[in-house]
Amino acid sequence: MATTTNKKRWYVVRAVSGQESKIKDYIKSEISRLGYESAVEDLLVPTEKVVQIRNGKKINKERTYFPGYIMIKANLSGELPHIIRSVTNVIGFLGETKGGAPVPMREAEVNRMLGKVDELALTTEHISIPFVVGENVKVIDGPFNGFTGSIEKVNEEKRKLEVMVKIFGRKTPLELSYMQVEKI
């Protein structure tokens, strides 16, 4: 059993991209199997929620924010770094020199990364696409798909835009959500 006299610090584990969650689970199970739970405080894969439109339907997906990286808060001493490195698909620790000890992250980096993670967790469906009045956009969803027009009004609260589109030679205002248009 490892001693936890040292302060736990954040480290970044480099892993095979696309398998971060699976590798995180492997690391967790390996740590608990060998009795090192007390040395590890937190293990996370920074993700963000993204909204996509597929066939006119909104789909919420989770996207890895830093592909190939897993954050771990631990007291990396004794056998622990070796145990983590030996997990399948783990490449090593970020910033380490060959054969050297893992390099902990600076406090500012941790706050920035975790702040980003917390911010993303809070703003689940908040898609920050600031549109400006007068900007030209293309309609990508709905009955007016393919039409282009200019933005007349932006309603940030409802996340709606009023877009002036030319239909049969006449300008017609359409109320569309942020998700139904894209910038040209």
For 32-63, how does the pLDDT look when each residue is reduced to its tens digit (9 = 90+)?
999 999 999 999 998 877 777 777 777 888 88
What residue ranges do the domains of the chain occupy? Answer: 9-122, 136-183
CATH code for the structural domain at 9-122: 3.30.70.940
| Cα–Cα distance, 61 to 47 (Å, whole number) | 10
pLDDT of the residue at 7: 83
Are the C-beta atoms of 70 and 43 separated by less than 8 Å? yes
Provide the CATH topology of domain 136-183: SH3 type barrels. (2.30.30)
Instruction: Enter the pTM of the model.
Output: 0.57
pLDDT at 74: 94
Using alpha carbons, select from 133, 122, 143, 147 the residue that is nearest to residue 49: 122
The answer to which of 81-90, 109-118, 121-130, 138-147 has the lowest mean pLDDT is: 121-130
Q: Would you call 91 helix, strand, or coil by DSSP?
A: strand
**Alpha carbon distance 54, 63 (integer Å):** 16
